[in-house]
């Protein structure tokens, strides 16, 4: 079981959906753990021949096939299963914007002007703003305090887990609960969190200095391809019907399997 299958509690969400409440069955294969424009997997993953990949969408499956990947299965995203498992409260109240600044990963550093981004957020948003930082930026006082001093509420959904340690099965539950408190979800790059927000009922926006990582390489066409191919998802105001249609396709929300079908595909024993 690849350690990335556990990121953000993805494997735990699928296990819950399949009826495993207190145990995590072995998932033999590679589970896509974030939205991307390639084959669904992280570019630094080493693949073992003959091991299947479980991808979020048919579009991703077709890209992976064109790149020579085989044993590909479309399951839909863990987020879509979580949304299906957790219907919103009837009287759910929403206000303000939840903004996700672009972030790096362990060992990577973001190059960008946070003060400029703060000014852009202030100029765009009319309601209260919550800024959600990745754990790495959240633990960096000079970054976190910039947003706090700007008057924004600053949070972190938690640590994604890694190498089978510090796992957090509740990560996505907290993210969903937080998104459902907000009317809008936004980021300076199109990313998983924006699509998640749309499926959670938020109005999306993508605007602001996109920033970049130290030594960043634009794989699979990179930023220019994203802004070109998903142009309808960019801007301070995005057509909601269009965003919902794109989101359903990208997250595979129309491709969800039944618990029995998913257990069979993942080779989990029947309860």
The CATH number linked to 201 is: 3.40.50
The answer to whether residue 92 is domain-embedded is no
- Other C-beta atoms within 10 Å of 151: how many? 10
Q: Do 81 and 104 fall within a single domain?
A: no
Quote the pLDDT of residue 218: 64
The answer to whether residue 49 is domain-embedded is yes
Q: Do 68 and 198 fall within a single domain?
A: no
Is residue 4 classed exposed, middle or buried when 0-12, 13-18 and 19+ CB atoms within 10 A define those classes?
Answer: buried
3-state percent helix, strand, coil for the chain, nearest multiple of 5: 40, 15, 50
Give residue-wise pLDDT tens across range 210-231: 877 666 666 665 788 899 999 9
Please list, in sequence order, all residues whose beta carbon lies within 8 angstroms of the beta carbon of residue 239, skipping any fewer than 6 positions away.
232
The answer to whether residue 185 is domain-embedded is yes
Q: Do 37 and 68 fall within a single domain?
A: yes
Q: Do 231 and 166 fall within a single domain?
A: yes
Regarding predicted confidence, which is higher, 57 or 209?
57
Boundaries of domain holding 23: 3-86+252-265
Q: Choose the weakest-confidence range: 18-32, 145-159, 199-213.
A: 18-32
The answer to whether residue 221 is domain-embedded is yes
Q: Do 136 and 12 fall within a single domain?
A: no
- Other C-beta atoms within 10 Å of 29: how many? 19
Give residue-wise pLDDT tens across range 98-116: 999 987 666 666 777 899 9
Q: Do 132 and 237 fall within a single domain?
A: yes
The answer to whether residue 10 is domain-embedded is yes
Number of structural domains found in the chain: 2
């Amino acid at each position: 079981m690849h350690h990335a299958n556990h990121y953000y509690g993805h494997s735990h969400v699928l296990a819950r959906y399949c009826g495993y409440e207190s145990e995590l069955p072995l998932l033999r294969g590679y589970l896509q753990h974030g939205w991307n424009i390639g084959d669904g997997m992280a570019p630094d993953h080493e693949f073992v021949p003959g091991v299947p990949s479980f991808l979020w969408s048919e579009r991703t499956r077709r890209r992976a096939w064109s790149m020579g990947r085989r044993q590909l299965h479309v399951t839909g995203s863990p987020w879509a299963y979580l949304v299906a498992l957790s219907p919103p409260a009837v009287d759910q109240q929403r206000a303000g914007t939840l903004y996700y600044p672009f972030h790096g990963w362990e060992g990577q550093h973001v190059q960008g002007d946070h003060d400029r981004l703060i000014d852009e957020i202030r100029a765009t948003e009319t309601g209260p703003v919550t800024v959600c930082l990745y754990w790495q930026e959240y633990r960096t006082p000079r970054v976190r305090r910039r947003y706090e001093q700007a008057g924004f509420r600053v949070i972190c959904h938690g640590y994604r887990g890694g190498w089978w340690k510090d796992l957090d099965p509740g990560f996505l539950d907290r993210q969903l609960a937080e998104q459902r408190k907000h009317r809008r979800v936004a980021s300076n790059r199109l990313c998983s969190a924006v699509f998640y927000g749309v499926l959670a009922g938020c109005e999306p926006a993508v605007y602001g200095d996109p920033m970049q990582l130290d030594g960043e390489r634009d794989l699979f066409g990179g930023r220019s391809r994203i802004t070109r191919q998903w142009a309808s998802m960019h801007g301070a105001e995005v057509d909601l019907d269009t965003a919902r249609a794109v989101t359903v396709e990208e997250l595979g929300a129309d491709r969800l399997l039944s618990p029995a079908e998913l257990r069979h595909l993942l080779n989990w024993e029947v309860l």
